[in-house]
Amino acid sequence: MDEKVLDFLKHSIRFKGSLEKHVMKNKIIECVADQLSKSIPQIVTLSKDLELLKLIANIIENIVCKKHKVDKKELVLEIVKKLFPLLSEQDLAVVSDNIEMLHFNKLIKKVPFWKKVRRYIFDSKKKD
C-alpha cells in the first residue's frame, strides 16, 4: 500500500469503548517494552530482577489513570511477557507474586503531578 494511504488510515480511524481501551493497552505495552529494551542493552539477563519489575510497576502506576479502568497488574505482566517471551507459567506466577509483594509493601508509588511537570521542564531546558 502507498505510504500516504497508510498514514491516512492511521490518523483517521477512531476507536471507541472497549476497542479504545484495548488499543490503549497495546500502545502502552509496546511503548514501555520498546523503551526498556532500548535503554537496557542486556535486558534479557534481568528476567528475574526485582528492581526491573519495580520500575515497570512504577511506570504503569504513573501513566495509567483510574478513568481508564485498566488492570495495572495485568499490564505489568503483559510487559514482562513481551520482554521475556521464554518465561514459563511458573516464572510468571512468581512475577505475579512479586508484584503483589511490591504493592503490599507500598513500593509502587504515584509521582505527584507537579513533580512530573517540574521534571519535564528541567529535562527540556537541559536539551537546549
Collapsing DSSP to helix, strand or coil, 47 comes out as: coil
**pLDDT of res. 57:** 95
| pLDDT per residue rounded down to tens, the chain (128 residues) | 456 655 665 666 777 777 878 888 999 999 999 999 999 988 989 998 999 999 999 999 998 887 778 899 999 999 999 999 999 999 999 999 999 999 999 999 988 877 777 777 777 666 65
Residue the block writes with cell 521464554: 86
* Amino acid at the residue 100: E
R_g of the chain, CA atoms, integer Å? 17
What's this model's pTM, rounded to 2 decimal places? Answer: 0.79
